[in-house]
Structure 1
Amino acid sequence: MPEPTTSRPARALLPLWLAVLAAAAGGWLMDLAYPDVAAWILAFPATALLLLALIGRRAGGALLVGLVHGLVFYLLLVSWTSRYLGPIPWMALAGVEAALTAVCVIPIALAYRWMPRAFPGTAGRLIALPALVAALWVGRELVVGALPYSGFPWARLGMTQSTSPLAALSSWVGVSGLSFLMVFAVAVLIESVRLQLWHRPVRLLVPTAAIVVLFVVPAFPTAAAGNLRIAAVQGNGPTGYFDVREPYSVIDAQTDASRSLYGEDIDLLVWPEGSVDSDPFQNANLARRMTLVANRAGAPLLANAATERDGEYFNTSMLWLEDGTADQTHDKRHPVPFGEYVPDRAFYNAIVPDLIGLLQREYTPGTNPPIMQVDDALIGLAICFDVIYDDVIREGVNGGAEVLILQTNNADFRGTDENLQQLAFARMRAIETGRSVVNISTVGTSQIIRPDGTTVSFLDADEAGAMLEDVELRSGLTAGVVLGPWVQQVLLWGGLAALLIGWWRARRRA
């Protein structure tokens, strides 16, 4: 059978009405790939449906397809944002993410129009085109994860694989690299069908074998570095934004849940984000209570509270010692827009003054390293949504962190999928970095996770309790940590450069 050639512009594979339906179905399936359902395998047909809807589309059609896909996906995925504040924040976030998705899938549609003309051979269709499509997909994830304001990298494709055999690949190429490999595999399968490679089974062997290999790659090795006996306490206190609370009710709940640990052999006691009612550096009563807990536990207390310094507010974790001092602190790096601060407050206040008026405190982004030392061990930190930002995790591990401690407060999203989605991201971070993870929430679900992603112990949502484990410490950097930033940049800029080359060659061959 001759090599496939074409000099004409690619025709749309699906009529626009069917492409829109396929994009919507893809958005629905993609949501099911994330927790609560967490059917990771559905990420592949979801990706395929979006790509099929984009093949042969012009910019306008691709914009519509991407918008529909993005709206269905994000409205389902982040429906938890409406838990207390109603539909406006939910629809605003989903709308912005969908609009960015719509714009960013246009280059993928253009790749499907230009590349078959630019590189019409089998190698071009089975390697060059899928690689470019996958690179542009990752570029879309990076753009959505960075814009607007601090971005929202919540819905990266690789993050769907926390319980999949493919998760180990993140330790080699990072989460973005995993997204690339997944899309590449789907795009290769699509082109294999379009080229009817079942008539040439020898040519089908190579892509088939490559995809099979992806499922059996072991995790990148890291070295054992001892153990740290860590206790993590979920107080289930009134830590939600709208929870009715009495003075000291939050620290009371945390203290009550910690009592079962007194007398145990503990190296570090961990409380979650928002585990202290107010700034213990300015409230002597809170400071005394924390010192008492640290002494009764016989270990330093890693707690978290809103703190104020020089007129600025921070979301701060502090290592509170038995002598009542706390010289090691870390401030949350990426405060949540419209949750912990309001960007362009005057503009948004004019639109929705009732909602904006609820957010009186403006948190400042932290600049101190996400690392603390406990005895001879270094721990890496990420506060709440900071777990989804690569820079925070990589800075901690590159700084020598031998275990990751992720403190979070999910009380504003009780009864939703938010905590389970965040927990899946924590599991992916364990696998990607080759580190144990202690993910502790105020209200659950909390878990201690091994470097391979398996759970050591857990606390269900809406229950008070404590976990105590000898947590394995690991040293050494995975390839995913070292190469991850480079992989992202190569895919982003290399994908755009390859698209321009494809356009230039397609014009010359027209």
Structure 2
Amino acid sequence: MSPEPGRVLGEPLRLPLAAALAVAAGVALLLALPPYDLWWLSPVGVALMAAAVHRRRLRAGFGLGFLTGVTLFFPLLWWTTIGAGWLPWAMLSVAQAVIIGIAGMAGAWLSPLADRWRWSWPLLAGLLWTAQEALRDRAPFGGFPWGRLAFSQGDAPTLRLAAYGGAPLVTFVVAAAGGALVALALHLAHSKIKSNIVGTAGFALTAAVLLFGPAALPLTEPAGPTSTIAIVQGNVPRLGLDFNAQRRAVLDNHVSATRQLAADVAAGKQKQPDLVVWPENSSDIDPLRNDDAGDEISAAADLIKAPILVGTLQRTDDPEDIYNVGILWWPRTGPDLDQQYAKRHPVPFAEYMPLRPIARLVTDKVDLVRNMLPGDHPGVINTGSVILGDVICFEVAYDGIVRDTVDGGAQLLAVQTNNATFNEAEALQQLAMVRLRAVEHGREALMVSTVGVSGFVDGTGEVHGATGFNTAAVVVRDIATEGPRTLATRSGNWPEVVAVALMVAALAGVLPLRRRRANIGNDGDKVSEER
């Protein structure tokens, strides 16, 4: 399936067409993600961007990739404007688009390799997207992994791959399928008629096997003893940042919902839970420093006769410094300081301000952002009936933070979140991440939000008891506490490390081909790339 002579070095697409494909790529990648969930568009988006940047100069490759990123991230992250306004939304979207632009530049750089060995398209596309996501997951300021290809695959057969290599493997295979699609298109455009059948069948079969073959992979679901878990979505009086001014009302909502659950248990309408989980910010009044708030939580725990995992903010001796924590609150004995988790990855510009002295030179509004301190250990919480792997809000997007809890013995993954400052689309995007984590680590999982969406996820990624948005709800479910130790858990970040290393090798390995290309004379085989 090699290109015919004279086609090894060819012309790029005309720039207007390439720009249209770059925009279409961003649209496809957007529609593949929640709330749209057209998962099959992810490889299409990869293929469209690959075609747009192929054989272009590096500057043009960056520009076209950036155009794809802008088209994807500005609408994907629109929900950030609800709580933070347009400037952080624009800055975050541009930062993410820049990294997609770098991927576009890398794709242009790799063009001679893909032209010389067309069969390499799936491998190069898979490595390229895995590597760019590895970069976005870490930079700048600790990274922001939103919009990963893996998070679009909640309803796809490829979700099963998470158990074998985590989110990086899912991304690799989806992108590789996109590479097979663009190779198929180029093959149809440039190959001789007699070789079309074999080549077309080969690339089409590759894409089909990559996307649908994982359906045959076995998954070992959690089994063994069960524990009854209740999640409480108390809701808030008003959406938006103003919920912070309603701290007592939010706490009262969760106390009242738990009291009602206790009444339903007493009446035989609900099972007695072994554990109740409240969301992030369910008590923004620090119950360790405010006796009234502590008394309300204690009364609720006594009534429900089960420990409550409470999401709260803990103050420190410095009034500017806080921790975002989940703390276990027992009936009768109250808070358990040995069973609490402080968020390890606070969100820059929202929960803490990087480079505050410099930012203050631009605007004094930076001081409206409090200084949230990071925790120093994974969220492994022993509730007596089950060991929780607790992560808070956006942390579910980070591979290592979730994996650390499973390595620490977590039997159930719990995501405490507060979507009151965002919207339902953001909540559904988070739930998609929970689905992947459940499959990745062979653990049942839950997500509990102040306003929704909340629900349970089983070991195959199926959602149970999903609540509505901006409403109060309580969901009770029996969960299995003995899950397998998956290959993804055991391998850690090695699949990603290997992919990045191979990508670096490919970027270096194409250099001789590019030098040869530069030395070709004007004999008809020389590329004339559009600038």
TM-score by length of 2: 0.89
1:235 and 1:95 mapped to 2: Cα distance?
Answer: 35
Residue 431 (1) aligns with residue 430 (2): no
Aligned twin of 1:351: 362
Task: Call closer, same or farther: CA 1:9–1:213 in 2, change over 3 Å.
Answer: closer
Contact 2:50 2:104 in 1 (8 A): no
1:105 and 1:53 mapped to 2: Cα distance?
Answer: 9
1:374 and 1:88 mapped to 2: Cα distance?
Answer: 42
What's the offset of the Cα at 1:506?
Answer: 5.1
Aligned twin of 1:497: 505
Pick from 311, 326, 339: which aligns with 2:336?
326
Contact 1:398 1:477 in 2 (8 A): no
Contact 1:267 1:300 in 2 (8 A): yes
Residue type at the aligned position of 2:297: M
Aligned twin of 2:98: 99
Structure 2: gaps of 5 or more residues: 520-531
Aligned twin of 1:243: 243
Residue 259 (1) aligns with residue 259 (2): yes
Residue type at the aligned position of 1:332: K
Residue 141 (1) aligns with residue 133 (2): yes
Cα RMSD of the aligned pairs, angstroms, is 2.2
Residue type at the aligned position of 2:118: R
Residue 485 (1) aligns with residue 493 (2): yes
Pick from 299, 303, 315: which aligns with 2:310?
303
2:323 and 2:6 mapped to 1: Cα distance?
Answer: 59
Aligned twin of 2:421: 412
1:348 and 1:15 mapped to 2: Cα distance?
Answer: 42
What's the offset of the Cα at 1:84?
Answer: 3.7
Pick from 335, 341, 351: which aligns with 1:340?
351
Pick from 274, 278, 284: which aligns with 1:277?
284
What's the offset of the Cα at 1:9?
Answer: 7.0
Contact 1:144 1:151 in 2 (8 A): yes
Task: Call closer, same or farther: CA 1:37–1:295 in 2, change over 3 Å.
Answer: same
What's the offset of the Cα at 1:213?
Answer: 3.7
1:269 and 1:280 mapped to 2: Cα distance?
Answer: 17
Write the mapping of 1:24-39 to structure 2, written as runs, cut at 5 A. 24-39=23-38
Aligned twin of 1:87: 86
Write the mapping of 1:49-64 to structure 2, written as runs, cut at 5 A. 49-64=48-63
What's the offset of the Cα at 1:5?
Answer: 5.8
What's the offset of the Cα at 1:206?
Answer: 5.1
Q: Deviations over 1:152-176 (max 9, x none)?
A: 0111111101111221111112111
2:73 and 2:277 mapped to 1: Cα distance?
Answer: 33
Contact 1:33 1:40 in 2 (8 A): yes
Residue type at the aligned position of 2:496: Q
Residue type at the aligned position of 1:259: R
- How many aligned residue pairs are there? 499
Contact 2:2 2:118 in 1 (8 A): no
What's the offset of the Cα at 1:336?
Answer: 0.5
What's the offset of the Cα at 1:186?
Answer: 1.6
Residue 183 (1) aligns with residue 175 (2): yes
Larger mean CA deviation between 281-290 and 192-201 belongs to 192-201
Write the mapping of 1:122-141 to structure 2, written as runs, cut at 5 A. 124-126=117-119, 128-141=120-133
Residue 375 (1) aligns with residue 405 (2): no
What's the offset of the Cα at 1:190?
Answer: 2.0
Residue type at the aligned position of 1:288: D
Contact 1:222 1:478 in 2 (8 A): no
Aligned twin of 1:399: 408
Q: Deviations over 1:25-69 (max 9, x none)?
A: 111121111112121122122111111101111101101101111
Contact 1:411 1:443 in 2 (8 A): yes
What's the offset of the Cα at 1:277?
Answer: 2.7
Contact 1:438 1:449 in 2 (8 A): yes
Write the mapping of 1:109-258 to structure 2, written as runs, cut at 5 A. 109-116=108-115, 120=116, 124-126=117-119, 128-196=120-188, 199-200=194-195, 201-202=197-198, 205=201, 207-214=203-210, 215=212, 216-238=215-237, 240-243=240-243, 245=245, 248-258=248-258
Contact 1:220 1:479 in 2 (8 A): no
User: Secondary structure at the residue paired with 1:326?
Assistant: strand
Contact 1:427 1:449 in 2 (8 A): yes
What's the offset of the Cα at 1:185?
Answer: 1.5
Larger mean CA deviation between 298-307 and 232-241 belongs to 232-241
